[in-house]
Chains A and B, each alone.
Chain A
Amino acid sequence: MLGFDRLVALVAKDLLIELRSRDVAYSTLVFALLVLVIFNFAFELRAENLQVLAPGVLWVTFIFAAVLALGRVFAAERDRGVLEGLLLCPIDRGAIYLAKLVSALVLMLVVEAVAIPAFIALFGLNLPLLPLGLVALLGSLGFASVGTLFSALAAHTRTREGLLPILLFPISVPVIIATVKATTVVVAGDPWELALPWLQLLVGFDALFVGISYLVFELVVED
């Protein structure tokens, strides 16, 4: 049985630890802002190339920052051997995955909530925040769902920092493509209906990735 109260306790614990240590949030946020600044120097965004470049700039930044954050999802458990303590609890082990996914997603959204206004300010854009936020939520969920699973898998290996992106990027290509395409519609100011197929694809992949990851998580963390 999943147990919503236990899920809340798991997420609250993760967020409290992050709030106190600020291990992941600071490094991820600084990294995202630095990448945006570098892109700002590298590209000169004008009205004619805005639609082509802006979504790519934004999502390359988010995805690289997310890899940094996802690599630390199981850090507290891995470094101090606490994962066994969680596995000892009489809970569905998939609940541990869901809690880690929610924690990672919250962290990614916080970083994005700071990075998007910085992106708008740096590149002098005028973007509708609500549609962009929806795309960011769905895209981040898809990326975090697979990333959390692979982070657990990579946590047991010596080459975890290198292994995570190698595992993560090929699998998450459909999510990245759909997210960038939907962001392109938002940036171009096209009718919202044009983004719907991409959003539907995102919802589908999100459901698929979360479902499969939830089911196989127990196999990943077993001895």
Chain B
Amino acid sequence: MKATVRVEGLEKRYGLTPALRGVSFELTPGEVCVLLGPNGSGKTTLLKVLATLVRPDRGVVEVGGLDLRRHGRLVRGIIGFSGHQTYLYEELTVAENLRFYGRMYRVADLDRRIREVAEVFGLNDRLNTRVRALSRGFQQRTALARALLHDPPVLLLDEPTTGLDVEGRCRLAALLGELRARGRTVLFSSHAFELERAWADRALVLSAGRLVFDRPASDLPANVLNLGGAHARV
């Protein structure tokens, strides 16, 4: 099967500090993959490189068969990204935020699509609430709805469960299953893999910028989150 995401020999430095060192992997359609690693291991940098927010120093990065360096704008059209920040305007309502981003992505039949993603994340009752009045959990749900709004073939989620309650996590888990069934590719990072083990087909583990584990998620040792020492063992 042709890869949706292809990363080969990816390197990125911040000044003298290496963030990613020769990272290589491929993701295929319908694959849900979790990205693990301790703080500072390069998870966010890797996701931001794939999202075109950070320019790689070396290596090949392709999303949907498009080279990131040459086709950045086209790549941005086929990815959905949710980061540490919600990327939401606090003075606007949930619906206004989604409508704004929908217009940026030229989403067809936007009002219907907003209702759909609001339904997925249980936001229907809060569409007319200003973001600043939402709890952290509902802000995160709105952020995820924003990333999903244009129905991207590739979804990149940086710690998507941050701030989510049990219901929010269940909705996210159900969504990932649905995306897998529809052939979408999902790469998400996590700090709480014990809870989300069942969500992923495959696990990538980064340690100090190197990819040290790339196997089915079921092969991960139970103590993989005792990162540092555990990574050396993996």
Contact = CB atoms under 8 A, between A and B. Distances in A.
- Chains A and B form a bound pair: yes
B92 A9 contact: no
Given A13-B92, A16-B96, A80-B85, A89 B55 contact: no
B157 to A, nearest CB: 13
B88 interface: yes
Interface of A: 3, 5-6, 9-10, 13, 16-17, 20-21, 76, 80-82, 84-92, 222-223
B54 interface: yes
A88 B76 contact: yes
Contacts of B199: none
A221 to B, nearest CB: 10
Interface in B143-178: 146
22 contacts: A3-B106, A6-B104, A9-B100, A9-B103, A13-B89, A17-B91, A17-B92, A20-B91, A80-B90, A82-B87, A82-B89, A84-B87, A86-B104, A88-B52, A88-B53, A88-B87, A89-B104, A89-B105, A90-B105, A91-B73, A91-B104, A223-B48
Contacts of A90: 73-74, 76-77, 104-105
Nearest to B87: A85
Contacts of A9: 100, 103-104
Best-buried of B53, B81, B87 by chain A (most CB within 10 Å): B87
B103 A6 contact: yes
A86 B104 CA distance: 9
B101 interface: yes
B104 A223 contact: no
Interface in B66-120: 73-74, 76-77, 79, 81, 83-92, 96, 100-101, 103-106
Contacts of A89: 76, 101, 104-105
A213 B200 CA distance: 44
A81 B91 contact: no
Contacts of A76: 89, 91
A81 B87 contact: yes
B5 interface: no
Contacts of A86: 104
B51 interface: yes
B88 A223 contact: no
A222 B54 CA distance: 7
Given A81-B85, A85-B87, A90-B74, 17 more contacts: A6-B104, A9-B100, A9-B103, A10-B104, A13-B100, A16-B91, A16-B92, A21-B91, A80-B85, A81-B87, A82-B85, A89-B101, A89-B104, A89-B105, A90-B76, A90-B104, A92-B73
Contacts of B79: 88
Contacts of B48: 223
B105 A87 contact: no
Contact of B85 (A20, A85, A91): A85
Contacts of B104: 6, 9-10, 86, 89-91
A20 B88 CA distance: 15
A81 to B, nearest CB: 3
A92 B52 CA distance: 13
Nearest to A95: B104
A9 B85 CA distance: 22
A16 B99 CA distance: 13
Contacts of B85: 80-82, 84-85
A223 B87 contact: no
B131 to A, nearest CB: 9
